[in-house]
Structure 1
């Protein structure tokens, strides 16, 4: 079957169009999509890059919020108070030792009382007293010494009795310090340990003071009796 001239012209035009499309560059061809939609690879790549950068910024903001939240949590731990306290126990022990010292017999822990007692029955001025007064002074000095040694033993017993309480406080505070969740709790535990150490030093000071008081009064009694013995001997030879 023969084609008419018009048909041959249409066939040639279609052939040229097909060849023209085949030789178009890839980007130019990609710009024509189905339904006339335009597709730009360069614009698409820029959009993807912008989205990636935005996502990274969001991730950075999330990390900053997380860090701030953790910082607030740590700050809250640092401000939390220690859940245990041994101060009442320490104060009770200190008051007990103080009460034992205040119960000192005969001669109290007072400069005025000591001066008065030594003026009345320890100093050399008593050598001019009568024989009966010397005997009374000697008996009073003996009572001073016995009372002082009894006081010293009571203070020492009180100090020894505080050891068990101190040991319990140490165990509690060391455990609290090791499990402290923040700086404030650790500091408070350390402060209470220092307070416990101070209480133990106060007990030791009290025991040493009570023992020293007893020894000093006993030494003063011996010196006074020696002086009175010489005076009585002198009086005997003068008779």
Structure 2
């Protein structure tokens, strides 16, 4: 058979199949392109699996970010306040204590006060000889003058601490407002309370020094009155 006869036979056979049995189609949804089989169902499943995996990865990343944020916040809450005024406050308290410790003649000591009053303010101190009375009166006057001088020095020291207190307040308020965590805020609050305690200590010292001076002056007046009565008694007795 010649080449042309074979070609005609193949064309007739193809037409016969087309007219008699219809066009043949693949039985499944798969298709083959260049030797590669494409399955839409498997492709959709693979895409869905990849999307789920990506979502899981995103969730894990978010969890890690949340944990990192939590750790940062915990670190801030545990961070110490970089500013401290405690040393300055302690120095101010020590200065006030030193001024009180420099009290002249009658110090802030129970036994010292008892001895001074026994020697100059009561009992036989008011009924001795004339020379002794004059000497005791002079000592009582020195007690009063010294006490008033001490009170003025303590008051001056307290006034001098005001500038330090103002500076400490500004520093601590600024530190409290910029605190990064609970610990820093609490430490700033504690230092403000310490400042308040220091100011109360200064106020107590000033009031105590003033009261000491007033008390000694009142004691001097009482002793002078008692001594005057003794002198008058003696004068009447002599006449």
Q: Same fold (TM over 0.5)?
A: yes
Asked if 1:50 is matched to 2:54, the reply is no
**SS of 1:129's equivalent?**
coil
Task: Give the CA deviation at 1:189.
Answer: 1.2
The answer to whether the 8 Å contact 1:156/1:207 transfers is yes
Mean Cα deviation higher: 36-45 or 101-110: 36-45
The alignment's C-alpha RMSD in Å is 2.1
Counterparts in 2 of 1:150-161, with a 5 A limit? Answer: 150-161=149-160
Say if 2:31 and 2:39, in contact at 8 Å, map to a contact too: no
Does the CA contact (< 8 Å) of 2:126 and 2:223 recur in 1? no
Separation in 2, partners of 1:4, 1:179: 97
Classify the secondary structure of the residue corresponding to 1:220: helix
Question: How many Å separate the matches in 2 of 1:71 and 1:140?
Answer: 72
Q: Which deviates further from its counterpart, 10-19 or 67-76?
A: 10-19
The question of whether the paired residues in 2 share the 8 Å contact of 1:108 and 1:114 is answered with yes
Q: Are 1:124 and 1:227, in contact at CA under 8 Å, matched by a contact in 2?
A: no
CA distance in 1 between partners of 2:203 and 2:8 (Å): 133
Matches within 5 A, 1:154-233: 154-233=153-232
Change (3 A) 1:20 1:161: same
Determine the C-alpha separation between the residues in 2 that align with 1:169 and 1:197.
Answer: 11
Deviation at 1:40, TM superposition (A): 2.5
Residue number in structure 2 paired with 1:123 = 122
Number of residue pairs matched? 233
Moved more, 6-15 or 144-153: 6-15
Q: CA separation of 1:20/1:110 partners in 2, compared to 1, >3 Å: closer, same or farther?
A: same
Q: Does the CA-based 8 Å contact 1:138-1:225 persist in structure 2?
A: yes
The TM-score normalised by the length of structure 1 is: 0.90
Deviates further, 83-92 or 142-151: 83-92
- Secondary structure of 2:24 counterpart: helix
Q: Which moved further from structure 2: 82-91 or 98-107?
A: 82-91
Distance 1:171 1:90 in 2: 14
Q: CA deviation at 1:19?
A: 2.5
Give yes or no for contact 2:127–2:227 (8 Å, CA) kept in 1: no
Shift of 1:16: 4.7
Q: C-alpha distance in 1, partners of 2:10/2:233?
A: 174
Counterpart for residue 89 of structure 2: 90
> What do residues 144-179 of structure 1 show as CA deviations (whole Å, max 9, x unaligned)?
000000000000000001001110110111111111
